Structure 1
Protein backbone atom coordinates (compact mmCIF):
# COMPACT_ATOMS: atom_id res chain seq x y z
CA UNK A 1 0.00 0.00 0.00
CA UNK A 2 1.40 3.36 -1.01
CA UNK A 3 0.10 5.28 2.00
CA UNK A 4 -0.31 2.48 4.54
CA UNK A 5 0.28 2.98 8.23
CA UNK A 6 2.11 0.61 10.53
CA UNK A 7 1.45 0.50 14.29
CA UNK A 8 4.86 2.05 15.03
CA UNK A 9 4.67 4.91 12.49
CA UNK A 10 5.19 8.32 14.06
CA UNK A 11 5.11 11.93 12.94
CA UNK A 12 8.90 11.75 12.70
CA UNK A 13 8.50 9.17 9.91
CA UNK A 14 5.79 11.13 8.13
CA UNK A 15 6.15 12.36 4.54
CA UNK A 16 3.38 14.19 2.74
CA UNK A 17 2.11 12.00 -0.15
CA UNK A 18 2.50 13.77 -3.51
CA UNK A 19 2.69 10.95 -6.06
CA UNK A 20 -0.93 11.44 -7.19
CA UNK A 21 -0.98 15.23 -6.92
CA UNK A 22 -0.91 16.69 -10.42
CA UNK A 23 1.75 19.39 -10.51
CA UNK A 24 0.72 21.19 -13.72
CA UNK A 25 -2.49 22.36 -15.41
CA UNK A 26 -2.77 23.46 -19.02
CA UNK A 27 -5.40 26.19 -18.66
CA UNK A 28 -4.36 29.59 -17.40
CA UNK A 29 -7.99 30.49 -16.70
CA UNK A 30 -8.71 27.74 -14.21
CA UNK A 31 -7.86 27.54 -10.51
CA UNK A 32 -6.27 24.26 -9.36
CA UNK A 33 -8.41 22.52 -6.76
CA UNK A 34 -7.55 19.92 -4.12
CA UNK A 35 -10.42 18.16 -2.35
CA UNK A 36 -10.03 17.05 1.28
CA UNK A 37 -12.40 14.54 2.88
CA UNK A 38 -12.02 14.35 6.66
CA UNK A 39 -13.77 11.67 8.66
CA UNK A 40 -13.69 8.42 10.57
CA UNK A 41 -13.90 6.13 7.51
CA UNK A 42 -14.66 3.20 9.81
CA UNK A 43 -14.89 1.64 7.32
CA UNK A 44 -14.67 3.56 4.05
CA UNK A 45 -17.55 2.82 1.65
CA UNK A 46 -18.16 3.22 -2.05
CA UNK A 47 -20.11 6.40 -1.30
CA UNK A 48 -16.99 8.01 0.18
CA UNK A 49 -15.14 7.29 -3.06
CA UNK A 50 -18.08 8.27 -5.22
CA UNK A 51 -18.20 11.69 -3.55
CA UNK A 52 -14.81 12.52 -5.06
CA UNK A 53 -15.98 11.62 -8.55
CA UNK A 54 -19.17 13.66 -8.19
CA UNK A 55 -17.21 16.65 -6.95
CA UNK A 56 -14.73 16.39 -9.82
CA UNK A 57 -17.56 16.31 -12.37
CA UNK A 58 -19.24 19.26 -10.69
CA UNK A 59 -16.02 21.28 -10.68
CA UNK A 60 -15.35 20.52 -14.34
CA UNK A 61 -18.81 21.46 -15.62
CA UNK A 62 -19.98 24.10 -13.14
CA UNK A 63 -16.96 26.05 -11.95
CA UNK A 64 -13.64 27.59 -12.92
CA UNK A 65 -11.75 24.99 -10.85
CA UNK A 66 -9.61 22.16 -12.18
CA UNK A 67 -9.12 19.24 -9.80
CA UNK A 68 -5.44 18.33 -9.40
CA UNK A 69 -5.70 16.01 -6.43
CA UNK A 70 -7.72 14.70 -3.52
CA UNK A 71 -7.00 13.31 -0.07
CA UNK A 72 -8.67 11.16 2.56
CA UNK A 73 -7.71 12.26 6.07
CA UNK A 74 -8.71 9.87 8.86
CA UNK A 75 -9.45 11.22 12.30
CA UNK A 76 -7.10 10.08 15.04
CA UNK A 77 -7.86 7.57 17.77
CA UNK A 78 -8.44 10.35 20.30
CA UNK A 79 -11.81 11.00 18.66
CA UNK A 80 -13.18 7.97 20.57
CA UNK A 81 -16.29 7.61 18.43
CA UNK A 82 -18.43 4.48 18.65
CA UNK A 83 -17.30 1.95 16.07
CA UNK A 84 -13.93 3.64 15.52
CA UNK A 85 -11.30 0.97 14.91
CA UNK A 86 -7.66 1.89 15.37
CA UNK A 87 -6.18 4.45 13.01
CA UNK A 88 -3.74 2.00 11.47
CA UNK A 89 -6.66 -0.15 10.27
CA UNK A 90 -8.61 2.79 8.90
CA UNK A 91 -5.59 4.18 7.05
CA UNK A 92 -4.83 0.76 5.61
CA UNK A 93 -8.44 0.22 4.48
CA UNK A 94 -8.49 3.64 2.81
CA UNK A 95 -5.17 2.92 1.10
CA UNK A 96 -6.48 -0.38 -0.22
CA UNK A 97 -9.65 1.32 -1.46
CA UNK A 98 -7.81 3.91 -3.56
CA UNK A 99 -5.19 1.58 -5.04
CA UNK A 100 -6.81 1.84 -8.46
CA UNK A 101 -7.24 5.63 -8.34
CA UNK A 102 -4.83 7.89 -10.19
CA UNK A 103 -5.72 11.01 -8.19
CA UNK A 104 -7.05 10.14 -4.70
CA UNK A 105 -4.45 9.80 -1.94
CA UNK A 106 -4.51 8.91 1.75
CA UNK A 107 -2.71 11.26 4.16
CA UNK A 108 -1.97 9.73 7.60
CA UNK A 109 -0.87 13.02 9.20
CA UNK A 110 -4.09 13.67 11.15
CA UNK A 111 -4.34 10.08 12.34
CA UNK A 112 -0.75 10.11 13.63
CA UNK A 113 -1.56 12.70 16.29
CA UNK A 114 -2.32 11.47 19.78
CA UNK A 115 -4.64 14.43 20.34
CA UNK A 116 -7.82 15.27 18.48
CA UNK A 117 -7.33 17.82 15.68
CA UNK A 118 -10.08 20.18 14.57
CA UNK A 119 -10.92 20.20 10.85
CA UNK A 120 -9.59 23.74 10.52
CA UNK A 121 -6.13 22.59 11.63
CA UNK A 122 -6.21 19.69 9.17
CA UNK A 123 -7.06 22.01 6.29
CA UNK A 124 -4.25 24.34 7.40
CA UNK A 125 -1.90 21.35 7.13
CA UNK A 126 -2.86 20.76 3.49
CA UNK A 127 -2.55 24.47 2.74
CA UNK A 128 0.98 24.48 4.15
CA UNK A 129 2.10 21.29 2.42
CA UNK A 130 0.65 22.07 -1.02
CA UNK A 131 0.84 25.85 -1.26
CA UNK A 132 3.49 26.64 1.34
CA UNK A 133 6.12 23.97 0.75
CA UNK A 134 5.32 23.02 -2.86
CA UNK A 135 4.24 26.49 -3.96
CA UNK A 136 1.10 25.29 -5.72
CA UNK A 137 1.13 23.93 -9.28
CA UNK A 138 2.55 25.06 -12.60
CA UNK A 139 0.33 26.78 -15.20
CA UNK A 140 1.10 28.37 -18.60
CA UNK A 141 1.47 31.71 -16.79
CA UNK A 142 3.55 30.52 -13.84
CA UNK A 143 2.76 28.85 -10.52
CA UNK A 144 -0.70 29.13 -9.01
CA UNK A 145 -1.76 28.38 -5.46
CA UNK A 146 -4.25 25.53 -5.17
CA UNK A 147 -7.67 26.06 -3.70
CA UNK A 148 -7.98 23.67 -0.76
CA UNK A 149 -11.62 22.68 -0.18
CA UNK A 150 -13.40 20.44 2.25
CA UNK A 151 -15.45 17.63 0.66
CA UNK A 152 -18.30 16.29 2.77
CA UNK A 153 -21.84 14.99 2.82
CA UNK A 154 -24.78 17.25 3.57
CA UNK A 155 -25.00 15.76 7.05
CA UNK A 156 -21.80 17.62 7.94
CA UNK A 157 -23.26 20.94 6.84
CA UNK A 158 -26.32 20.08 8.91
CA UNK A 159 -24.11 19.73 12.00
CA UNK A 160 -22.53 23.11 11.21
CA UNK A 161 -25.96 24.70 11.33
CA UNK A 162 -26.85 22.98 14.63
CA UNK A 163 -26.14 25.23 17.64
CA UNK A 164 -23.41 24.01 19.96
CA UNK A 165 -21.89 21.34 17.69
CA UNK A 166 -19.21 23.48 16.00
CA UNK A 167 -17.38 26.51 17.34
CA UNK A 168 -18.60 29.51 15.35
CA UNK A 169 -15.01 30.63 14.86
CA UNK A 170 -14.13 27.29 13.23
CA UNK A 171 -17.12 27.46 10.86
CA UNK A 172 -16.13 30.95 9.80
CA UNK A 173 -12.47 29.99 9.39
CA UNK A 174 -13.20 26.89 7.29
CA UNK A 175 -15.86 28.39 5.03
CA UNK A 176 -14.16 31.76 4.63
CA UNK A 177 -10.63 30.51 3.93
CA UNK A 178 -11.29 27.17 2.25
CA UNK A 179 -14.92 26.51 1.38
CA UNK A 180 -16.75 23.22 0.97
CA UNK A 181 -18.09 20.94 -1.74
CA UNK A 182 -21.19 19.32 -0.25
CA UNK A 183 -22.85 16.18 -1.61
CA UNK A 184 -26.58 15.88 -0.96
CA UNK A 185 -27.48 12.97 1.32
CA UNK A 186 -30.75 11.12 1.67
CA UNK A 187 -32.65 12.29 4.74
CA UNK A 188 -30.88 15.66 5.01
CA UNK A 189 -32.73 18.89 4.25
CA UNK A 190 -29.93 20.75 2.51
CA UNK A 191 -31.85 24.02 2.24
CA UNK A 192 -32.51 24.05 5.96
CA UNK A 193 -28.90 23.15 6.68
CA UNK A 194 -27.65 26.01 4.50
CA UNK A 195 -30.08 28.57 5.86
CA UNK A 196 -27.80 29.58 8.74
CA UNK A 197 -24.66 29.55 6.58
CA UNK A 198 -25.65 32.33 4.19
CA UNK A 199 -22.64 34.57 5.01
CA UNK A 200 -20.43 31.95 3.30
CA UNK A 201 -22.79 30.87 0.52
CA UNK A 202 -20.30 31.82 -2.22
CA UNK A 203 -17.83 29.31 -0.80
CA UNK A 204 -20.27 26.41 -0.60
CA UNK A 205 -20.93 24.27 -3.66
CA UNK A 206 -23.83 21.80 -3.42
CA UNK A 207 -23.63 18.66 -5.54
CA UNK A 208 -26.79 16.76 -6.39
CA UNK A 209 -26.71 12.97 -6.15
CA UNK A 210 -28.01 11.89 -9.55
CA UNK A 211 -27.84 8.26 -8.41
CA UNK A 212 -29.13 8.02 -4.86
CA UNK A 213 -26.78 6.22 -2.48
CA UNK A 214 -27.32 6.07 1.28
CA UNK A 215 -24.54 3.65 2.22
CA UNK A 216 -22.98 4.64 5.51
CA UNK A 217 -20.19 3.28 7.70
CA UNK A 218 -22.77 2.85 10.47
CA UNK A 219 -24.84 0.52 8.28
CA UNK A 220 -21.75 -1.45 7.27
CA UNK A 221 -20.85 -2.01 10.93
CA UNK A 222 -24.43 -3.08 11.65
CA UNK A 223 -24.32 -5.61 8.81
CA UNK A 224 -21.05 -7.01 10.11
CA UNK A 225 -22.34 -7.34 13.67
CA UNK A 226 -25.24 -9.32 12.26
CA UNK A 227 -22.89 -11.49 10.19
CA UNK A 228 -24.45 -10.18 6.97
CA UNK A 229 -22.69 -9.65 3.65
CA UNK A 230 -21.14 -6.24 2.87
CA UNK A 231 -19.90 -7.24 -0.55
CA UNK A 232 -20.51 -4.57 -3.25
CA UNK A 233 -21.07 -1.95 -0.52
CA UNK A 234 -17.37 -1.42 0.16
CA UNK A 235 -14.36 -2.11 -2.11
CA UNK A 236 -13.42 -5.78 -2.26
CA UNK A 237 -9.90 -5.31 -0.80
CA UNK A 238 -11.50 -3.58 2.19
CA UNK A 239 -13.94 -6.47 2.64
CA UNK A 240 -10.97 -8.87 2.73
CA UNK A 241 -9.02 -6.66 5.17
CA UNK A 242 -11.97 -6.47 7.58
CA UNK A 243 -12.34 -10.24 7.48
CA UNK A 244 -8.63 -10.94 7.88
CA UNK A 245 -8.31 -8.60 10.87
CA UNK A 246 -11.59 -9.48 12.57
CA UNK A 247 -12.76 -5.88 12.61
CA UNK A 248 -16.21 -4.72 13.75
CA UNK A 249 -17.02 -7.93 15.56
CA UNK A 250 -19.41 -6.24 18.00
CA UNK A 251 -17.18 -3.14 17.56
CA UNK A 252 -14.58 -4.85 19.74
CA UNK A 253 -11.62 -6.36 17.97
CA UNK A 254 -9.25 -3.77 16.65
CA UNK A 255 -11.22 -0.87 18.09
CA UNK A 256 -9.71 2.15 19.83
CA UNK A 257 -10.94 0.73 23.11
CA UNK A 258 -9.67 -2.82 22.56
CA UNK A 259 -6.24 -4.41 22.78
CA UNK A 260 -7.37 -7.49 20.90
CA UNK A 261 -5.70 -8.17 17.58
CA UNK A 262 -8.83 -9.83 16.26
CA UNK A 263 -9.32 -12.90 14.16
CA UNK A 264 -11.76 -13.62 11.37
CA UNK A 265 -14.93 -15.12 12.73
CA UNK A 266 -16.35 -16.61 9.54
CA UNK A 267 -15.28 -19.45 7.30
CA UNK A 268 -17.12 -17.94 4.34
CA UNK A 269 -15.29 -16.04 1.61
CA UNK A 270 -14.70 -12.41 2.65
CA UNK A 271 -17.96 -10.47 2.70
CA UNK A 272 -20.16 -13.42 1.79
CA UNK A 273 -23.38 -14.01 3.63
CA UNK A 274 -23.33 -16.71 6.24
CA UNK A 275 -27.04 -17.26 5.84
CA UNK A 276 -29.75 -16.03 8.17
CA UNK A 277 -28.20 -14.31 11.20
CA UNK A 278 -29.04 -15.81 14.59
CA UNK A 279 -31.25 -13.80 16.90
CA UNK A 280 -28.27 -13.04 19.15
CA UNK A 281 -26.48 -11.24 16.28
CA UNK A 282 -29.01 -8.41 16.13
Structure 2
Protein backbone atom coordinates (compact mmCIF):
# COMPACT_ATOMS: atom_id res chain seq x y z
CA UNK A 1 0.00 0.00 0.00
CA UNK A 2 1.47 3.35 -1.06
CA UNK A 3 1.60 6.04 1.58
CA UNK A 4 0.03 9.32 0.60
CA UNK A 5 1.40 12.46 2.14
CA UNK A 6 -0.53 15.71 2.19
CA UNK A 7 1.39 18.90 1.64
CA UNK A 8 -0.79 21.42 3.35
CA UNK A 9 -0.72 24.87 1.73
CA UNK A 10 -0.13 27.46 4.46
CA UNK A 11 -1.64 30.50 2.81
CA UNK A 12 -4.24 32.87 4.10
CA UNK A 13 -6.16 35.75 2.69
CA UNK A 14 -4.05 38.88 2.97
CA UNK A 15 -6.59 40.22 5.46
CA UNK A 16 -6.43 37.25 7.83
CA UNK A 17 -2.75 36.35 7.87
CA UNK A 18 -0.57 39.41 8.35
CA UNK A 19 2.77 38.54 6.80
CA UNK A 20 4.86 40.99 4.81
CA UNK A 21 4.94 40.24 1.09
CA UNK A 22 2.16 37.65 1.17
CA UNK A 23 0.71 37.04 -2.27
CA UNK A 24 -2.89 36.01 -2.97
CA UNK A 25 -3.60 32.41 -2.00
CA UNK A 26 -4.48 31.30 -5.54
CA UNK A 27 -0.87 31.94 -6.65
CA UNK A 28 0.54 29.97 -3.73
CA UNK A 29 -1.81 27.06 -4.41
CA UNK A 30 -0.96 27.06 -8.12
CA UNK A 31 2.80 27.06 -7.40
CA UNK A 32 2.45 24.20 -4.89
CA UNK A 33 0.42 22.20 -7.41
CA UNK A 34 3.07 22.75 -10.07
CA UNK A 35 5.86 21.77 -7.67
CA UNK A 36 4.05 18.59 -6.58
CA UNK A 37 2.48 17.44 -9.83
CA UNK A 38 5.09 14.80 -10.58
CA UNK A 39 4.85 13.24 -7.12
CA UNK A 40 2.85 10.09 -6.51
CA UNK A 41 2.75 10.62 -2.76
CA UNK A 42 2.27 14.36 -2.22
CA UNK A 43 -0.93 16.28 -2.79
CA UNK A 44 -1.84 19.90 -2.19
CA UNK A 45 -4.66 20.67 0.22
CA UNK A 46 -6.00 24.19 -0.30
CA UNK A 47 -8.65 24.10 2.45
CA UNK A 48 -6.89 26.57 4.75
CA UNK A 49 -6.15 28.97 1.92
CA UNK A 50 -9.83 29.08 1.05
CA UNK A 51 -10.96 30.06 4.56
CA UNK A 52 -11.94 33.68 5.20
CA UNK A 53 -10.32 33.83 8.63
CA UNK A 54 -6.98 32.85 10.11
CA UNK A 55 -6.78 29.13 10.95
CA UNK A 56 -4.51 27.93 13.73
CA UNK A 57 -2.20 24.99 12.99
CA UNK A 58 -4.05 22.78 15.47
CA UNK A 59 -7.34 23.44 13.66
CA UNK A 60 -5.73 22.55 10.33
CA UNK A 61 -4.16 19.33 11.67
CA UNK A 62 -7.49 18.29 13.18
CA UNK A 63 -9.29 19.06 9.91
CA UNK A 64 -6.82 16.99 7.89
CA UNK A 65 -7.14 14.04 10.28
CA UNK A 66 -10.94 14.10 10.21
CA UNK A 67 -11.06 14.62 6.42
CA UNK A 68 -9.10 11.44 5.74
CA UNK A 69 -10.79 9.41 8.49
CA UNK A 70 -14.38 10.55 7.92
CA UNK A 71 -14.21 10.10 4.15
CA UNK A 72 -12.81 6.58 4.47
CA UNK A 73 -9.66 7.55 2.55
CA UNK A 74 -7.34 6.18 5.24
CA UNK A 75 -8.20 4.04 8.23
CA UNK A 76 -7.59 5.99 11.43
CA UNK A 77 -5.44 3.06 12.59
CA UNK A 78 -2.97 3.80 9.76
CA UNK A 79 -3.29 7.59 9.69
CA UNK A 80 -0.53 9.70 11.21
CA UNK A 81 -0.93 13.46 10.82
CA UNK A 82 2.08 15.51 11.97
CA UNK A 83 3.25 19.09 11.75
CA UNK A 84 6.28 19.33 9.44
CA UNK A 85 8.36 22.43 10.11
CA UNK A 86 11.80 23.94 10.12
CA UNK A 87 13.72 24.31 13.37
CA UNK A 88 13.03 28.06 13.20
CA UNK A 89 9.31 27.35 13.63
CA UNK A 90 10.00 24.83 16.40
CA UNK A 91 12.04 27.50 18.17
CA UNK A 92 9.09 29.90 17.89
CA UNK A 93 6.99 27.48 19.99
CA UNK A 94 8.96 28.58 23.04
CA UNK A 95 8.66 32.32 22.38
CA UNK A 96 5.94 33.83 24.54
CA UNK A 97 2.82 35.03 22.70
CA UNK A 98 3.79 33.54 19.32
CA UNK A 99 1.78 30.35 19.91
CA UNK A 100 -1.13 29.50 22.15
CA UNK A 101 0.55 27.31 24.78
CA UNK A 102 -2.24 24.72 24.89
CA UNK A 103 -2.34 24.51 21.07
CA UNK A 104 1.35 23.81 20.70
CA UNK A 105 1.25 21.36 23.60
CA UNK A 106 -1.63 19.50 21.91
CA UNK A 107 0.24 19.49 18.58
CA UNK A 108 3.35 18.01 20.22
CA UNK A 109 1.44 15.49 22.35
CA UNK A 110 -1.41 14.36 20.08
CA UNK A 111 0.00 14.83 16.57
CA UNK A 112 3.76 15.05 16.72
CA UNK A 113 6.29 17.18 14.88
CA UNK A 114 8.77 16.40 12.13
CA UNK A 115 11.43 19.09 12.42
CA UNK A 116 13.89 19.81 9.62
CA UNK A 117 17.17 21.32 10.78
CA UNK A 118 17.98 24.85 9.70
CA UNK A 119 21.60 25.81 9.39
CA UNK A 120 23.03 27.28 12.58
CA UNK A 121 20.27 26.07 14.89
CA UNK A 122 20.76 23.54 17.68
CA UNK A 123 17.51 21.58 17.83
CA UNK A 124 18.52 19.61 20.92
CA UNK A 125 19.09 22.91 22.75
CA UNK A 126 15.77 24.32 21.49
CA UNK A 127 13.98 21.23 22.83
CA UNK A 128 15.84 21.09 26.15
CA UNK A 129 15.17 24.79 26.87
CA UNK A 130 11.38 24.41 26.67
CA UNK A 131 9.29 22.44 29.18
CA UNK A 132 6.60 21.34 26.70
CA UNK A 133 9.09 20.35 23.99
CA UNK A 134 11.14 18.42 26.55
CA UNK A 135 8.03 16.66 27.87
CA UNK A 136 7.00 15.58 24.36
CA UNK A 137 10.44 15.11 22.80
CA UNK A 138 9.58 11.50 21.89
CA UNK A 139 6.94 12.94 19.52
CA UNK A 140 9.47 15.18 17.78
CA UNK A 141 11.29 13.56 14.87
CA UNK A 142 14.40 15.51 13.90
CA UNK A 143 15.52 15.33 10.28
CA UNK A 144 19.21 16.14 10.02
CA UNK A 145 20.54 17.30 6.71
CA UNK A 146 23.40 15.26 5.33
CA UNK A 147 24.28 18.16 3.07
CA UNK A 148 23.43 21.59 4.51
CA UNK A 149 20.66 23.24 2.53
CA UNK A 150 19.66 26.87 3.03
CA UNK A 151 16.82 26.81 0.51
CA UNK A 152 13.66 28.38 1.88
CA UNK A 153 10.73 30.27 0.44
CA UNK A 154 12.15 33.43 2.03
CA UNK A 155 15.46 32.92 0.19
CA UNK A 156 13.69 32.28 -3.12
CA UNK A 157 11.54 35.43 -2.73
CA UNK A 158 14.60 37.47 -1.79
CA UNK A 159 16.56 36.25 -4.84
CA UNK A 160 13.65 37.07 -7.16
CA UNK A 161 13.20 40.54 -5.66
CA UNK A 162 16.91 41.21 -6.32
CA UNK A 163 16.61 39.82 -9.86
CA UNK A 164 18.88 36.84 -9.11
CA UNK A 165 18.42 33.38 -10.61
CA UNK A 166 16.42 30.80 -8.67
CA UNK A 167 17.25 28.00 -11.12
CA UNK A 168 17.58 24.72 -9.18
CA UNK A 169 15.95 26.25 -6.06
CA UNK A 170 12.50 25.29 -7.31
CA UNK A 171 11.02 23.62 -10.38
CA UNK A 172 11.19 25.30 -13.79
CA UNK A 173 7.38 25.30 -13.95
CA UNK A 174 7.19 27.29 -10.71
CA UNK A 175 9.85 29.71 -11.95
CA UNK A 176 7.88 30.22 -15.19
CA UNK A 177 4.69 30.79 -13.18
CA UNK A 178 6.41 33.40 -11.00
CA UNK A 179 7.74 35.23 -14.07
CA UNK A 180 4.44 35.05 -15.93
CA UNK A 181 2.57 36.51 -12.95
CA UNK A 182 5.35 38.93 -11.97
CA UNK A 183 5.40 37.69 -8.38
CA UNK A 184 7.84 38.90 -5.72
CA UNK A 185 9.49 41.47 -8.01
CA UNK A 186 10.98 44.44 -6.11
CA UNK A 187 9.52 43.19 -2.80
CA UNK A 188 6.16 44.55 -3.91
CA UNK A 189 3.20 43.14 -2.07
CA UNK A 190 0.88 41.73 -4.69
CA UNK A 191 -2.73 42.85 -4.49
CA UNK A 192 -5.75 40.83 -5.50
1:97 maps to which residue? 35
Cα deviation, residue 135, structure 1: 6.2
Cα deviation, residue 164, structure 1: 2.1
Is 2:124 the partner of 1:191? yes
8 Å contact kept, 2:9–2:32: no
Structure 2: runs of 5+ lacking an equivalent = none
> Where do residues 24-173 of structure 1 align in structure 2 (5 Å cutoff)?
24=1, 67-77=3-13, 78-134=16-72, 136-137=74-75, 144-173=77-106
2:158 to 219, 222, 231: 222
Residue-pair matches, total: 187
**Distance in 1 separating the partners of 2:142 and 2:118:** 11
Larger fraction in helix: 2
Runs of 4+ in 1 over 3 A off after TM superposition: none
Structure 1: runs of 5+ lacking an equivalent = 1-23, 26-66, 138-142, 260-282
Larger fraction in strand: 1
Q: Cα deviations across residues 66-87 of structure 1 (Å, max 9, x unaligned)?
A: x442323222122121121110
8 Å contact kept, 2:114–2:142: yes
8 Å contact kept, 1:131–1:145: no
**Distance in 2 separating the partners of 1:110 and 1:233:** 25
**Distance in 1 separating the partners of 2:94 and 2:37:** 35
**Distance in 2 separating the partners of 1:87 and 1:244:** 16
Q: Cα deviations across residues 118-149 of structure 1 (Å, max 9, x unaligned)?
A: 00000011111112331634xxxxx7341111
**Distance in 2 separating the partners of 1:239 and 1:73:** 18
Name the TM-score, length of structure 2 as normaliser.
0.91
1:246 to 179, 182, 185: 182
Cα deviation, residue 189, structure 1: 1.9
**Distance in 2 separating the partners of 1:243 and 1:104:** 25
8 Å contact kept, 1:135–1:144: no
